[in-house]
C-alpha cells in the first residue's frame, strides 16, 4: 500500500497530528510509525503531567498561542473521552524579595496572554491554597491542571485509527532510512518499508537526526537534559494539595523544581535539569558514546555550559545529593524532612540548541520538499499537542494540497 501520509514518532505530538489530520481528512490513508513498543514512551510519558496555563511564554509566540489554545482543547478532549485529569490550579510563590520584580513580569505576561482567572495573592492567601508553603506572596493560576498524558496519547491514536480502516499504526519499528522518489518516499524501518506521498516527523529526542536523514540542512543539534524527581512519602503527602511552583530564575532556561500532584495521587517533586550523556537515558549513569560525542563536539553545547556554569554545577550537585535536593524543596515547604522524600523517576527533555548556546527557541516546525519536521517542541508541547496537531494538519493541506 502507498499511504498518503506517514507520521514518524508516537509521542503526544505525533499522535495528536495523526488524530487531527485524520479527523480533518477521513479519506487519507495515514500510517503512524513509532520505534518503541508503546506510545508516549519517552518525553510524553516521563514529563510532570501538568496542563500548563501559558503563563510564562512570550505573547504572540507559537508557544503562547498553541499552549493556550491547546490547553482548552486538551481539557475538552479529556472530558469527552474520559482521560484522567483535574483542573486543580497552581500557585507560583516568591520566597525572597529579589524574586518579586520577575513575579510581577510573569503576571503581566499572563495578563497579556489572557490567562483566565490569574491573580496576585498575599502570603496569607497562598496558605489558603497550600497551608504548608511559606512565602512572601504569589500568583494563583486556577486554569492549570494535571492529566494522564500517556492515556491522552493512546486515546488520540485510537480515535484516528477508527476513522479509516486503511490507516495503521506500527509500534516497535525504528526508522533507519528515508529514500526519496519522484512522487513518493520510502520510510525504511528495522522491520519494514512504508511508501508514502508525504512525511511528517514528530521525533522528539531524535528530531535532528531524522531531519538529516531526510536531507534537511540543519545547523542546530538536539541536546538532552535529564530531570530527576523525588516523591513525597505517604506520611508527607498532606503537605502538598495540588501544584506549587517557584518564581523561575530568568537567567536559567528551566522553570525550577516544583511540586505536582499526579493523577494517580502521588506527589512528585522536581525536576532538576542536568546534561545527559544519553538522549534516551533515564538513569544517572546512563551513557551513549554516540550521543555524548554528538553533544560534546557541538559548539552550542559548550556555549550553554559556559553561559550557565554556576547553575549547571548546582544542578549536578543536587542530582547526586538528596540533602541538596531537599534544601531546594524547603525554600517553599520548610517543614519537609529527609524522611518525607524518596527517589522517584526521571525524564529527558529534548532542546534544539542554537549555535550560540541559546535554549529558549520557540516551537519550530519546518518544511522540506514533501516533508514537515517538528524540530523543536519542548514544554509546553504536551499541553499544546492538539493545537500543534491542528496547525500541522492545516499546513499539510496547504503545502501538500491534501484533500
**Which secondary-structure segment (H or E) carries 221?**
strand 221-232
What pLDDT score was predicted for residue 250?
76
Whether residues 315 and 289 fall in one domain: yes
What is the total count of domains within the chain?
Answer: 3
Q: How many CB atoms lie within 10 A of CB 91?
A: 26
Neighbour-count burial of 182, counting CB atoms closer than 10 A to its CB (0-12 exposed, 13-18 middle, 19+ buried) = exposed
Task: Report the pLDDT value the prediction gives residue 38, as an integer from 0 to 100.
Answer: 98
pLDDT cut 70: percent of the chain above it: 99
Where residue 316 falls among pLDDT bands split at 50, 70, 90? confident
Q: What is the mean pLDDT of the chain?
A: 95
Answer for the pair 195, 184: CB distance below 8 angstroms, yes or no: yes
Residue 390: per-residue pLDDT: 97
Tens digit of each residue's pLDDT (9 = 90 or more) over 129-144 = 999 999 999 999 999 9
> Residue 55 pLDDT > 70, yes or no?
yes
Q: Is there a domain that residue 395 lies in?
A: yes
**Mean pLDDT over residues 152-166, rounded?**
98
Would you say residue 167 lies in a domain?
A: yes
Same domain, 259 and 339: yes
This prediction's pTM: 0.96
pLDDT score, position 256: 84
Asked whether the beta carbons of 34 and 173 are under 8 A apart, the reply is yes
pLDDT in tens, 222-239: 999 999 999 999 999 999
- Let me know whether 308 and 393 are in one domain: no
* Cβ–Cβ < 8 Å for 31, 17: no
When pLDDT is averaged across residues 13-21 and rounded to a whole number, the result is 98
- Cβ-count burial of 179 within 10 angstroms (0-12 exposed, 13-18 middle, 19+ buried)? exposed
Q: Are residues 10 and 156 in the same domain?
A: yes
Task: Check whether residue 159 and residue 191 sit in a common domain.
Answer: yes
What pLDDT was estimated at residue 261?
97
CB of 105 closer than 8 Å to CB of 56: no
Note whether residue 166 is domain-resident: yes
The answer to whether residue 47 scores a pLDDT higher than 80 is yes
Give 162-195 as a DSSP string. Answer: HH-TT-EEEES--EEEEEE-SS-EEEEESS-EEE
Above 70 in pLDDT, residue 62?
yes
pLDDT in tens, 351-368: 999 999 988 678 999 999
Are 371 and 346 in the same domain? no
Domain boundary among 142, 161, 180: 142
Q: Residue 153: pLDDT band by 50, 70, 90 thresholds?
A: very high
390 lies in which domain range? 2-45+150-219+361-400
Task: Say if residue 80's pLDDT is above 80.
Answer: yes
**Number of C-beta neighbours around residue 338 at 10 A:** 10
Same domain, 40 and 160: yes
**Range with lowest mean pLDDT among 82-91, 194-203, 309-318:** 309-318
Separation in Å, CA 100 to CA 247, 250, 253, 262: 8, 12, 18, 28
Judge if 170 and 116 occupy the same domain: no
The answer to whether the beta carbons of residues 74 and 385 sit under 8 Å apart is yes
Contacting residues for 357 by C-beta, under 8 A, at least 6 apart:
300, 301, 302, 303, 304, 305, 306, 307
Q: Assign 314 a pLDDT band (cuts: 50, 70, 90).
A: confident
Residue 292 cell numbers, joined: 555524548
Judged by average pLDDT, the poorest of 68-82, 348-362, 370-384 is 348-362
Residues 198 and 263 in one domain: no
Per-residue model confidence (pLDDT) at position 169:
98
Place of cell 492515556: 151
- Residue 255 is predicted with a pLDDT of 75
pLDDT at 253: 65
Q: Please report whether residue 112 resides in a domain.
A: yes
Same domain, residue pair 200 and 270: no
Please report the pLDDT score of residue 360 as a whole number. 67
- Residue 17 scores a pLDDT above 70: yes
Query: Is the sign of the CA dihedral 66, 61, 93, 111 positive or negative?
Result: negative
Evaluate whether residue 71 is within a structural domain. no
Query: Measured between alpha carbons, how far is 320 from 307 in angstroms, rounded to an integer?
Result: 22
Percentage of the chain beyond pLDDT 90 is 90
pLDDT score for 362: 86
- Cell 516546525 belongs to residue: 365
Residue 227 in domain: yes
Query: Does residue 389 sit in helix, strand or coil?
Result: helix
Dihedral sign for Cα 33, 39, 44, 47, please. negative
Sign of the Cα torsion 363, 367, 370, 376 reads: negative
pLDDT tops 80 at residue 72: yes
CATH label of the domain that carries residue 396: 3.50.50.60
Q: pLDDT value at position 126?
A: 98
Say what the pLDDT of residue 77 is.
98
CA–CA distance from 206 to each of 9, 35, 224 (Å)? 9, 11, 10
Residue 273 inside a domain? The answer is yes
Closest CA to 351 of 340, 362, 359, 341: 359
Q: What angle do CA 161, 164, 167 make, to 5 degrees?
A: 65
**Do 268 and 328 fall within a single domain?**
yes
| 24/165 same-domain check | yes
82 within some domain: no
Residue 178 near residue 185, CB atoms below 8 Å: yes
**Dist CA 344 CA 120 (whole Å):** 32
pLDDT category at 82 given cuts 50, 70, 90 is very high
pLDDT per residue as tens digits for the range 248-271:
987 776 778 999 999 999 999 999
Name the domain boundary from 315, 331, 353.
353
Closest CA to 385 of 69, 49, 41: 69
Amino acid at each position: 500500500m502507498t499511504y498518503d501520509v506517514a507520521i514518524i514518532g508516537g509521542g503526544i505530538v505525533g499522535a495528536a497530528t495523526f488524530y487531527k489530520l485524520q479527523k480533518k481528512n477521513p479519506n487519507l490513508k495515514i500510517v503512524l510509525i513509532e520505534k518503541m513498543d508503546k506510545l508516549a514512551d519517552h518525553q510524553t510519558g516521563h514529563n510532570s503531567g501538568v496542563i500548563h496555563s501559558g503563563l510564562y511564554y512570550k505573547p504572540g509566540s507559537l508557544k503562547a498561542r498553541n499552549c493556550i489554545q491547546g490547553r482548552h482543547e486538551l481539557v475538552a478532549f479529556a472530558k469527552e473521552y474520559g482521560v484522567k485529569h483535574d483542573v486543580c490550579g497552581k500557585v507560583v510563590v516568591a520566597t525572597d524579595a529579589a524574586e518579586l520584580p520577575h513575579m510581577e513580569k510573569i503576571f503581566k505576561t499572563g495578563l497579556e496572554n489572557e490567562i483566565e482567572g490569574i491573580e496576585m495573592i498575599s502570603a496569607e492567601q497562598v496558605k489558603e491554597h497550600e497551608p504548608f508553603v511559606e512565602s512572601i506572596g504569589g500568583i494563583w493560576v486556577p486554569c492549570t491542571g494535571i492529566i494522564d498524558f500517556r492515556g491522552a496519547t493512546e486515546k488520540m491514536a485510537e480515535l484516528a485509527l477508527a476513522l479509516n480502516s486503511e490507516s495503521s499504526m506500527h509500534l516497535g519499528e525504528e526508522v533507519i532510512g528515508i529514500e526519496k522518489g519522484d512522487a513518493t518516499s520510502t520510510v525504511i524501518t528495522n522491520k519494514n518499508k512504508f511508501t508514502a506521498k508525504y512525511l511528517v516527523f514528530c521525533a522528539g529526542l531524535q528530531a535532528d537526526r531524522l531531519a538529516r536523514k531526510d536531507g534537511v540542512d540543519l545547523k542546530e543539534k538536539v541536546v538532552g537534559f535529564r530531570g530527576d524527581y523525588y516523591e513525597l512519602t505517604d506520611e508527607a503527602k498532606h503537605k502538598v494539595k495540588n501544584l506549587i511552583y517557584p518564581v523561575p530564575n530568568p537567567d536559567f532556561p528551566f522553570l525550577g523544581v516544583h511540586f505536582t500532584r499526579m493523577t494517580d495521587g502521588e506527589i512528585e517533586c522536581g525536576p532538576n535539569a542536568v546534561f545527559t550523556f544519553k538522549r534516551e537515558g533515564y538513569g544517572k549513569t546512563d551513557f551513549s558514546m554516540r550521543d555524548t560525542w554528538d553533544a560534546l563536539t557541538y559548539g552550542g553545547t559548550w556555549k550553554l555550559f559556559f553561559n550557565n556554569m554556576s547553575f549547571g554545577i548546582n544542578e549536578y550537585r543536587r542530582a547526586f545529593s538528596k540533602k541538596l535536593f531537599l534544601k531546594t524543596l524547603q525554600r517553599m515547604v520548610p517543614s519537609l524532612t529527609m524522611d518525607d522524600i524518596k527517589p522517584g523517576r526521571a525524564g529527558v527533555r529534548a532542546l534544539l540548541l542554537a549555535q550560540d548556546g541559546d535554549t529558549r527557541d520557540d516551537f519550530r516546525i519546518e518544511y522540506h520538499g514533501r516533508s514537515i519536521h517538528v524540530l523543536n517542541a519542548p514544554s509546553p508541547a504536551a499541553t499544546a499537542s492538539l493545537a500543534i496537531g491542528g496547525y500541522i494538519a492545516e499546513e499539510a493541506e496547504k503545502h501538500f494540497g491534501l484533500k
